[in-house]
Amino acid sequence: MTTSREVQLAARPQGEPQHSDFNVVNIELAAPGQGQIQVRNLFLTVDPYMRGRMNDVKSYVPPFALGETMTGGAVGVVTHSEDARVPVGAHVLHDQGWRTHANIDAGRVKVLPELDGVPLSAYLGVLGMPGLTAYAGLLRTAEFKPGDVVFVSGAAGAVGSAVGQIARLKGASRVIGSAGSAEKVAHLTGNLGFDAAFNYKDGPVGEQLRAAAPDGIDVYFDNVGGEHLEAAISAMHSMGRIAICGMISQYNSTEPTPGPRNMVQIIGKQLTVRGFLVTPHYDLFDTFAQEVGGWIASGQMKFDETVVEGIDRTPEAFMGLLKGQNTGKMIVKL
């Protein structure tokens, strides 16, 4: 028997989550069954989307169950294997996070390549779900083409910072980002290679975007919604494309928020506005991991992590994420 220490959802948070919304407990794990492996987790991820799943509302993913261990992305090492496809010692990416150990069907894990210069934690961020979200959303949903002018909101986040850098490395003619502090704006242009960036708190987004992209934009990658989306529609070239990944400006609204006032421009400009989830795009994973992994290994693409240590501090890491206490990807190291 193996003891797994696990974080369970004890109560549905009202507003900001509290320590009392979680229980941290020891669970005795049997040996893995036929076709299963046992994994010792090395890194866990906490992500903003998890907050939505803590509410008891129907959405595109079901809510987390009370009294059960939280799930989420994790990277671990295989300690037992009852499936020839996944050997002991392999590093795997899986979705049984918020625990130290797990038995998992071998078919549900992704064996990770061992790449020089690529830390394993990167598979939870720039080389994991957030990175694939950026890659698929930009290249497939927004149908990015070399020469495009690209605007991304929430550009200092795990997804946004990948979007801007992938666009640059794929031949964008200009990459513009918005973020919520002067430090983040300086980081985008100073370290991540954005051509222009602005702090959306400094003034109307429309005016700041026009100044940053005086000749207009071809692609908008939306993480924010609201005023950002309206500004992007107005700045769009004919045949422009908008990939909507998130609308974080609206997640805490208690009333329905009106949409952009310039929707009619979608007709004359022949725009495509497309919402997407990462789930249907995992067929791109190998191509994505090879290409972005190469850029990470060579230093052409950068990423930031904020690391919290210890399974018992996972709720704390999650609460800090929601308060913006992280720079780049928030990671729990076990």
Provide the binding-site residues for a copy of itself, judged by CB under 8 A.
59-60, 225, 229, 238, 244-247, 250, 256-277, 280
Please identify, using beta-carbon distances, which residue of 34 and 252 lies nearer to a copy of itself: 252
Contact 206, 228 (CB under 8 A): no
Nearer to a copy of itself, 207 or 312 (CB): 207
Least distance from a copy of itself to the Cβ atom of residue 266, Å = 4
CB atoms inside a 10 Å sphere around CB 81: 19
Report DSSP state, residue 328. Answer: S
Min dist CB 309 to a copy of itself, Å, is: 33
- Cβ proximity to a copy of itself: between 15 and 258 the closer is 258
Q: How far is the CB of 22 from a copy of itself (least distance, A)?
A: 26
Q: Closest approach of Cβ 6 to a copy of itself, in Å?
A: 28
176 vs 245 by CB, closer to a copy of itself: 245
Instruction: Give the separation between CA 219 and CA 271, rounded to whole angstroms.
Output: 10
Shortest spacing between CB 283 and a copy of itself, in angstroms? 15
Phi, psi at residue 299, to the nearest 5°? 85, 5
Residue 13 phi/psi, 5° resolution? -60, 140
Q: Other C-beta atoms within 10 Å of 292: how many?
A: 25
**The pairing of beta strand 101-105 with beta strand 110-111:** unpaired
**Least distance from C-beta 325 to a copy of itself, angstroms?**
25
Output the smallest distance, CB 302 to a copy of itself, in A. Answer: 27
Cβ proximity to a copy of itself: between 272 and 327 the closer is 272
Query: How buried is 25 (Cβ within 10 angstroms: 0-12 exposed, 13-18 middle, 19+ buried)?
Result: middle
Nearer to a copy of itself, 189 or 265 (CB): 265
Spatial distance between the Cα atoms of 261 and 268, rounded to a whole number of angstroms: 15
The secondary structure element, H or E, covering residue 80 is strand 74-81
d(CA 146, CA 141): 15
Of the two residues 218 and 305, which places its CB atom closer to a copy of itself in the complex? 218
In this structure, how many other beta carbons lie within 10 angstroms of the beta carbon of residue 307?
Answer: 13
Q: Which two tokens stand for residue 270?
A: 């022949």
Residue 245 makes CB contacts below 8 A (sequence gap 6+) with 133, 137, 159, 221, 222, 223, 276
Q: How far is the CB of 45 from a copy of itself (least distance, A)?
A: 20
The residue (of 89 and 268) whose beta carbon lies closer to a copy of itself is 268
Minimum CB separation of residue 270 from a copy of itself in Å reads: 5
Q: Angle at Cα 274 formed by Cα 290 and Cα 235, nearest 5°?
A: 100
By beta-carbon proximity to a copy of itself, the closer residue of 160 and 225 is: 225
Q: How far apart are CA 226 and CA 260, in angstroms?
A: 7
Rounded-to-integer distance, Cα 263 and Cα 232, Å: 11
Give the closest residue to 159 by CA, choosing from 329, 294, 300, 284: 329
